[in-house]
Chain A
Amino acid sequence: MTLFPSPIFLTLAALLTLLFTGLAGAGVVGRRPSLASFFFTLLSLESLAIALSGLLPLVTTSDTRLILPGGIPGLSFHLRLDPLSGFFLLLLGGASAGVLLYSAGYTKNEAPEKKAQFLAKTTVFLFFTGGVFLAADVYSFMLFWEIMAVASFFLILSGENTEGVRRASYLTLLLAHGGSMLIVTAFALLATRELPSGSLTMASFSFEALKMNHLSSGEALLVSLLFLLGFGAKAGVVPLHVWLPLAHPAAPAPASALLSGVMLKAAIYGLIRALFDLVGLPQLAPSFGILLLVTGAFMALFGILHAILQSDTKTLLAYSSIENIGLILLGTGLGILYLKTGHPLAGTLALCAALYHALNHAFFKALLFLGAGTMIHATGETNLNRMGGLFKKMPVSGALVLIAVLSISGIPPTNGFVSEWLLLQSTLQARDLLGTIQRSAVLFGAAILVLASALAAMGFLKFFGVGYLGQPRSDGARAAHECSLFERLGMGGLAMGSLFLGLFPSLVLGEILKAVSPLTSTTLPSPSGAYGWAWLLPLPPAGPSTSPLFLLLLLVILTLPVLWLVLGTEGKKRRLSIPWGCGYRDSYRRSQATAESFAQPIRHFFPVFFSMKRHLPSPDDPDPVFLLSVEDPHWPLLYRPLFRLFVAIAEGAERVRSGRISIYLIYSFTTLILLLSVLRWH
């Protein structure tokens, strides 16, 4: 026995404390609303504790297990805290600490019941998501996974009670359940391939036992595909992403921050755990890696193009989440491809880059959603075209959002730069490693990666420019005010996290490596020499290198003379004018570039990605109307035809419905007899 309790106990204790604090808080806040801030702050600290307990297995590379007796004989909860789970718990704790602190300010003006409900929903969601990371058998994994899905449904519902919100949350639940069915099917296939004869017991559903599977290559591909689609439905993999752009705007800001920052990552965790740990690296096919890579690349491009076109703040962020999940999948696919073609170093690097990006995305996307929440609260508007000029009104939160904007655009020295740089470096390892087809797929992915990053910068230039710069575009924007202290603190915490992840990449990569190397059974060589913490050299001794700290220094040195030039001209050649005035001398707000005008070139260059309806009035139209609507092409091309097909089938099936119970029973009886006969005598 050691003096120190095992890490999994600490994690479990941290998670349970969070759950009980949240539920107790929900009980108390209903009667004493003034205590809400206290409880949110407490929960935020407890989230930090979860993050620390997740850091522990990474630092010590420990792998602890625990079997808790369940309610039913033979079905106990297998839990396991290995470095990979620890990494995702760190992500969960870190991102939710900021979000919970922010919620203290965000829910300030809500009714007491709403506050209490939000406390309960958030903590239940966080607890069971944490449980997903710990689960080590199919039963507990699916239990936690399903409760997480249902909690996310309720989180979305905590927005306004409108038809749109209800539809969005229902669609989310529908796709989540469809996905769960595929996941369970995949688990079942794995479990039946594990033992020679059909002696299936509950013990064979633990992850340990599932690892012992011996799938044929075709079966392994099928199981991998099922996992991709199943987890993809929750991660927003195109074409199963349609719930995402509806759900995120419907939920209140802290909820969308958690959904995008944490829940999408839970799906990524599930996919990585299932592919690398359960199906097992030896069984994975290189072609599946290519599939994942191409899917990721397509998602990245599709997501960011649609993001640029959105004028609604949160819809824009939601599509950008699709882009980022695409980048993570791209890295994962790349990792599989490298590892399966005998390049373990490059594969490990790609997987590290993917996880690094997942962590970064959790921080900056949560920060962006919180920022969008402050914008919406301050102006009472959700459309970017009715914001504008907010930076002067909200300098602190604006600066924090700017950090996130720089991160997501991949601009040094932020964390987005580091992970995208790592992803790009790992794609460039293809230059002399792989066969022609594989190499071209990887390089195609690299090109899309660069394109998507550049487009992301464009999209977020639009987000920040139209929202925060220029002049106020509506009365709401003119009356905007800075958000509360709690909100700024929560956002500040996330921004600090983002900056840390950006400035000390070697430290972070070292920890992520500990989560990845058990999966790939490879570790990257550690860089020798001084200043290793400041200089990122993922493939020493010769490979590519960068240093965000150095770049920051360079940026400061280059900016100072410009600043001096600008400020030094005071009184001489300086002319003050209205921002974004387009040369007009008077304040003419409508002449500012709009959100749509930012998007117009993209719409023009990439028409295949959109389903557009335009109506241009003719010159002699007495009542001219200009109309343009852009839609996700998956609705008219895939989902609506599918719905129509279902309705048609249902209407056809209606004919056999006589309404007599005996007839129905005879239907089942004859079907049973026929099926059995076919089975017996072919």
Chain B
Amino acid sequence: MAASFVSPPTSPLVGFLGSALLLSSFAMLSMRRMASLVRIFALQGILLTLSTLSVALAAGEPHLFFSALFTLAFKVLLLPILLFRLLERLHIRGEVEVLLNVPTTMVVGLFVVVFSFALAAPISEMANTVSRGLIGVGLAALLLSFLMMITRRKAVTQVLGFLGMENALFFSAINATYGMPMVVELGVAFDVLVGTFVFGIFFFQIRETFESFDLKHMDNTPTE
């Protein structure tokens, strides 16, 4: 079993960026302050841009340069700016509230990573990209972001989890098949952007209605 966990060789730079991405996913999971969470998201965007660039250089795929450019524009600049403005206008400063305490979440996260690497082993063998060893990393980052969506209570953190999932998905696509077709990528990018806008409007509505962002207000609890 242990043999299947061994990843195929990858270029050191791409490998380093991949591990940094995984680390940033854990950082998001453990972060307690809202603003730092957004900053880590922006950092993840930078890592994603760099790793796309390095894969583009290593594999000589010109369309990946466009992907990198889009990533930079959307995930490093546009979305974090939008999120910061949102936090400011909604006067969110405080702590992240969790449903499951952070140490337990981290332990669950460790299992998730092991699971992802075991899962990705056969895919990595099939793929023929320079960075195929990193498919497991992408999968792990995806599941970690999902975990964050489950364990957090505030709506804003859930959006960040959602955006993190999208990042991870993008990362996996780049490493498994040198990216999705351009149309799909563009479509997803626009979806995420529109999604963020919708969430933004939604937040205002929630606050208007409940004067709080706690998700329990959105639960459909039947009144006795």
Instruction: Take A72-B182, A74-B183 as given contacts and tell me if A662 and B221 are in contact as well, using a CB distance cutoff of 8 Å.
Output: no
- Contact check, B183 vs A72: say whether CB atoms are below 8 A apart: yes
Q: Which residues of A, 486-520, contact B by the 8 Å Cβ criterion? A: none
Question: A612 an interface residue at 8 Å Cβ cutoff?
Answer: no
A206 to chain B, nearest CB (A): 14
- Contact check, B118 vs A665: say whether CB atoms are below 8 A apart: no
**How many contacts A-B (CB < 8 Å)?**
50
Q: Which residues of A, 72-91, contact B by the 8 Å Cβ criterion? A: 72-75
Instruction: Take A73-B182, A202-B183, A672-B146 as given contacts and tell me if A661 and B218 are in contact as well, using a CB distance cutoff of 8 Å.
Output: yes
- Contact check, A680 vs B122: say whether CB atoms are below 8 A apart: yes
A74 CA to B182 CA in the complex, in Å? 8
A672 CA to B149 CA in the complex, in Å? 14
- Contact check, B186 vs A669: say whether CB atoms are below 8 A apart: no
Return the CB mask of B179-193 against A: 1 if under 8 Å, else 0: 001110010000000
- Contact check, A680 vs B118: say whether CB atoms are below 8 A apart: yes
- Contact check, A659 vs B182: say whether CB atoms are below 8 A apart: no
Q: Which residue of A lies closest to B215 (CB)?
A: A661
Q: Which residues of A, 662-681, contact B by the 8 Å Cβ criterion? A: 662, 665-666, 668-669, 672-673, 676-677, 679-680
Number of interface residues of A (CB under 8 A): 23
Contacts of B222 in A (CB 8 A): 659
Instruction: Take A665-B150, A673-B115, A680-B119 as given contacts and tell me if A660 and B219 are in contact as well, using a CB distance cutoff of 8 Å.
Output: yes
- Contact check, A202 vs B150: say whether CB atoms are below 8 A apart: no
Give which listed residue, A200, A657, A668, A676, contacts B119 with CB less than 8 A: A676
Contacts of A661 in B (CB 8 A): 158, 215, 218-219
Return the CB mask of B191-224 against A: 1 if under 8 Å, else 0: 0000000000000000000000001101111100
- Contact check, A669 vs B182: say whether CB atoms are below 8 A apart: no
A496 to chain B, nearest CB (A): 47
- Contact check, B220 vs A662: say whether CB atoms are below 8 A apart: no
Q: Which residue of B lies closest to A73 (CB)?
A: B182
Question: B177 an interface residue at 8 Å Cβ cutoff?
Answer: yes
- Contact check, B177 vs A198: say whether CB atoms are below 8 A apart: yes
Q: Which residues of A, 52-89, contact B by the 8 Å Cβ criterion? A: 72-75
A333 to chain B, nearest CB (A): 36
Q: Which residue of B lies closest to A676 (CB)?
A: B119
Question: A201 an interface residue at 8 Å Cβ cutoff?
Answer: yes
B161 to chain A, nearest CB (A): 9
- Contact check, A662 vs B215: say whether CB atoms are below 8 A apart: yes
Contacts of B147 in A (CB 8 A): 669
A70 to chain B, nearest CB (A): 10
Contacts of B183 in A (CB 8 A): 72, 74-75, 202
A659 CA to B215 CA in the complex, in Å? 11
Instruction: Take A201-B181, A660-B219 as given contacts and tell me if A72 and B186 are in contact as well, using a CB distance cutoff of 8 Å.
Output: yes
B170 to chain A, nearest CB (A): 18
Contacts of A672 in B (CB 8 A): 143, 146
Question: B78 an interface residue at 8 Å Cβ cutoff?
Answer: no
Contacts of A677 in B (CB 8 A): 115, 119
A254 CA to B119 CA in the complex, in Å? 60
- Contact check, B221 vs A200: say whether CB atoms are below 8 A apart: no
Q: Which residue of B lies closest to A680 (CB)?
A: B119
Contacts of A669 in B (CB 8 A): 143, 146-147, 150
Contacts of B69 in A (CB 8 A): none
Contacts of B115 in A (CB 8 A): 673, 677
Question: B99 an interface residue at 8 Å Cβ cutoff?
Answer: yes
A320 to chain B, nearest CB (A): 43
A676 CA to B146 CA in the complex, in Å? 15
- Contact check, A665 vs B119: say whether CB atoms are below 8 A apart: no
Contacts of A680 in B (CB 8 A): 118-119, 122
Q: Which residues of B, 53-101, contact A by the 8 Å Cβ criterion? A: 99
A659 CA to B222 CA in the complex, in Å? 9
A20 CA to B114 CA in the complex, in Å? 61
A490 to chain B, nearest CB (A): 43
Contacts of B118 in A (CB 8 A): 680
Return the CB mask of B142-156 against A: 1 if under 8 Å, else 0: 010011011100000
Q: Which residues of A, 338-387, contact B by the 8 Å Cβ criterion? A: none
B109 to chain A, nearest CB (A): 12
Contacts of B119 in A (CB 8 A): 676-677, 679-680
Q: Which residue of B lies closest to A139 (CB)?
A: B183
Contacts of A665 in B (CB 8 A): 146, 149-150
Q: Which residues of B, 127-161, contact A by the 8 Å Cβ criterion? A: 143, 146-147, 149-151, 158
Contacts of B158 in A (CB 8 A): 661
Complex A-B: 7 CB contacts under 8 Å: A72-B186, A198-B177, A202-B182, A661-B158, A669-B150, A673-B143, A677-B119
Besides the contacts A72-B186, A74-B181, what 8 more A-B pairs have beta carbons closer than 8 Å? A72-B183, A75-B183, A202-B181, A657-B220, A659-B221, A662-B151, A668-B146, A680-B122
